[in-house]
Amino acid sequence: MPCHKRRVRKSCKICRTKKIKKTICRKRKTSPLQKRLVTDEICGSISQESNGESVQYWRTLNTGRNLPFGTITVRNQSPHCTLTVKADTTGDGISDITLFTLTELNQTKSITLGAVASLEISSSSSAELKGIGQFSITAHYYFARKKRKSLKKKILVTPRPQIISDSPGKEEICLVKEETEQITCKS
């Protein structure tokens, strides 16, 4: 009698079409990425000479296309200094956008940006004073990683090694000659 091979048809879990078991669905995607929103709170003190030079207080290490976004807040605590706040929003390393200027004592301003790569502050004054203040950055960014399948633990069972010895161990060796004779033991 001729032997017939039977093909089992199963439906694809992704596209729900009937496929032969050995074929691969073309709509099958690569492993999905898990994205988590991470928030960092960065705070610091401003203390610099009032000579008009910019000082970089924060920058991101990620200069690619995935820059963090968030809110920048600066407070001026010097009575006669003007603080100018600049930021880099493109990731090219140049703080080319002036966000705001603080001129009065205890003045606070905030701004929310869609992308921020660095924060620079310059202080200027007519007298030889130090620019003093505080800054805070609430930075949000997405952390992506590949979703891993749970690994099944494999337990390997290895047989115990058998000890094979030509010499007898430390236990006593007893010799029996006959039932009527005495038993002698050697150690």
- Please write the tens of the pLDDT for every residue from 135-149: 999 999 887 766 665
Higher pLDDT, 37 or 109: 109
Summarised one tens digit per residue, pLDDT across range 87-145 is 999 888 888 899 999 999 999 999 999 999 999 999 999 887 899 999 999 999 887 76
Please name the CATH architecture into which domain 33-144 falls: Sandwich (2.60)
**Per-residue confidence (pLDDT) for residue 108, from 0 to 100:** 96
- Position 178 pLDDT exceeds 50: no
CA dihedral sign of residues 101, 105, 109, 115? positive
**Extents of the domains making up the chain:** 33-144
**Per-residue confidence (pLDDT) for residue 70, from 0 to 100:** 95
| Other C-beta atoms lying within 10 Å of the C-beta of residue 135 | 19
DSSP state of 128: S
**Per-residue confidence (pLDDT) for residue 36, from 0 to 100:** 84
Which pTM does this prediction carry?
0.60
Q: Measure Cα distances from 157 to 116, 154, 160, 178 in Å.
A: 55, 10, 9, 47
Higher pLDDT, 55 or 185: 55
